[in-house]
Structure 1
């Protein structure tokens, strides 16, 4: 499998054909052959699109073959040659087969050029290519490619600013050339630079190995989750089936009870109707008897005296007659009342979507609010300029208006509110950013205004709970800082990076280049916006990221502060943080959201915030300083998947 992965490095990611020296390596590290590279360009040829990951890049004209593969591709190309060309003839545009090699000139020569060479340079030593092994000839050609093309000498010097290698003569010309963009070039040995970069690469390789182990562990957790999820689904499915069977069984029992109740009601109704029928039959018989008496009384052969006596008798019996003839009303309605449990169960089974189980996609990052702490009120409204969380999950907050440092314990209890005038002896220091040297348990705070602009603080157990170990005095305003390998990098308002050791010894100063949009701002806005910058370190690749509230790009620099990458901002933000995987998180004040760069929303705040939001990422938690209606606080969010 490893060999298959290695072979894939030498294949075009678009067509799977073998790469050549004309292939191009994109910034995403995907290599494409020359024909496929031309297909990646858009119609206007303003940018190209990677056919593998679909990333878009603008500076496509400067793309070259991958330096990782260049040597092997060059060796393959030379090995495929059936014959070698004369260098002198090739320089004149003539194709001729080389037969000799001159050691001093470091050139391949044909028969004609060799004759002229012997006349002019008879002391030079030459070799016949037919007497040399093919591997020796290829090795000579490879060495020629790595030598200076002008002086045919080994490239021993390195320029850190442009990243090019030179021979001694070319480096002198490069350093003294007034037209070169490199200023104050420091001579560096290629061998020493390779050794230095190899050490950095080894550290990066170790971190990548650790990152690989983390990914494997994460994959294992996902697989374990899927296995458990599968078993849980099977158990839940059987439970649901048993619940439905129980519902059906109870419904059957209730239906049987209901049928029995209906049968009882029906029997009772039949008996009642039978009684009413018999009573009506008796009434009909009485009516028949009275009608017979009427008919007999009204017969023609009756005397008047008998008729009078009969009428008097009937009048006396009239109330009884009315009572007997009073009809009995039958207003009976059968009501079928089903139990609520039965009705609701039937409705839910027929018409409702019963949610017995909710399933989320594995790996879909979401965050939920875990806790909130409120900062105590003061006479002046608090302005939180930065936040930091240590390995004990103690939260440190810099308050610029009150010139203090507030420490919260993990449970939200305030340990102390440290006033900076305890150590600066004046009230002019305003903290702007904070970081830590974790190996020394030292907090480093930079500030605007005042003279002591960089403070190194060590915690202690008694009041005022911090002591000053080192400080650096300067008139320059420091706006942001970060720590990498016990070196503190501090950004000032002139867009310069000042590096300090853990003992507060100033090491170097680097000027950030390419910030032309900020320099074009007029003087009023420039005075404001130059304070709204942040630098943060990438724990994975050890690079430094720069952002300004009104600068349209997020810029990545290496540790020598040479620009190596930039990304367009799709949202407007001030503070940002990177986690241990190099992922960038920030707070979008306009949309009131915590986001994952470049544009993925993670969570939205419950209320619209009044000011810029500071954020710190520690493990799987996000610590955000919020401000609403003059009240400041800290909200803690946590990942869930």
Structure 2
């Protein structure tokens, strides 16, 4: 038995049982017993996997016992058993007594296997009958043959470096002179000399291995130190998170009380408005009773014709006025409640609840920072910018100039490119008021003061840079544009919305209701309509109207939002927030301030959002410029 120091060399790495001479040593130097080796083979019996390091190997049929311990394993097996076992049967998992020894194959055979072996052997093999020999002679014969030539029974004293094989002196002479082996010019090496040389290499290898083991131990020590520190840091972080959680819970309780107060204040405000409406309705009902008395009086048979006509004229004048004062039953009142940043953004349970009277809506927060500014070149008349847009194709900026009847084009770095005069294509007066660029890169411009009040332009690479492709003639003044699914929607001065195809063919007309009191033509020009793709709704604003109105796809009013500040132009962020400008401030509807200019300047209110940038026009000290902001969602 081997000493304890080398005990693991003689154990199967899979089952830890004692190895025998039929065990297999894999190229990874891990040895496994015969039974465990069969379990490592795949279904095709061509690949085997080491159960220790999981390395995979092919051509396993050439694997044998480790040459380092093969002789010791054979000695252990012979001394531990009273009978010799057949090698072929053992390989198949069968136990049978060996009766013969084949000198050439160096294997033990039983009676059955020796008959088959003699039949398939193509050259004469020398067999020894084990029953005719004492057991000690058999062991000596088998052990001796491990170091002797099977043909001449001489010591293997020569070594061929090229074919890596051992020979006796006679066999080596034949081998070295055989032209088929290609070893004729190889310097002969004696086994003893090669062993001495290799032992010196083993000494160096042992030293290197000791150094390597030291490096591995140091690395292991560093890993253990890291694990210890990592566990300690995680424990500290876990304690911090728990402390933060408790702090957040405490703060949430405090903020919940503030939110309750906000909702209560908003509720009281809505109730006060409703109370005011009921009082207003009571007053209207009192007026109605007065109408009724006057009407009944006029319907009396003794009333004179002149008296009836004069009375009817008075009633007809008063009736529409009182009807206009009647509050709308469609109005929805909103209570603005701002949840703290550390709260869940979606607040799903609130968003999913809707009892018909109280709803919650998710609003993503945004912030903006000023990025750059550049001025717009002066022109013949003072600039009056009515609209701004950015072309997604090249990020060029386009502005409508009302007083100069032109379209200004600037490069994305603010460099002036061209100024296109609309008279060159309309041959008549045209005052541009709004512009949009379709998905097919067609420029649509609306305006007034002429007959061609809707223009479809195609951009060109050379002067005059634009070509008129379609136009629509009308006496109606067009005010504002928006687009949905290749359909262009145009708002006119009579609060009608016209829909056009991409070939400038009018498709339909919709009438906006509730603006009869805005009968001044200049009031209607201060209007803006935009489409919100995130909610599939249209939004309408008029500078002189106190509410921002949400419209469905048929332009029916579905929601009203009271404006705390009057504004004209507005645009949507990617989450659907309404962004607008007022004097020297930029707001996100309804009242969150996004930016305030350090110096007072007139904000033209032209707003456009492109990707993560916001463009707006400003006027400072008589100079009109463009301010660009970066948006953070």
What TM-score, normalized by structure 2, do the two folds share?
0.43
Question: Is the radius of gyration larger for structure 1 or structure 2?
Answer: 2
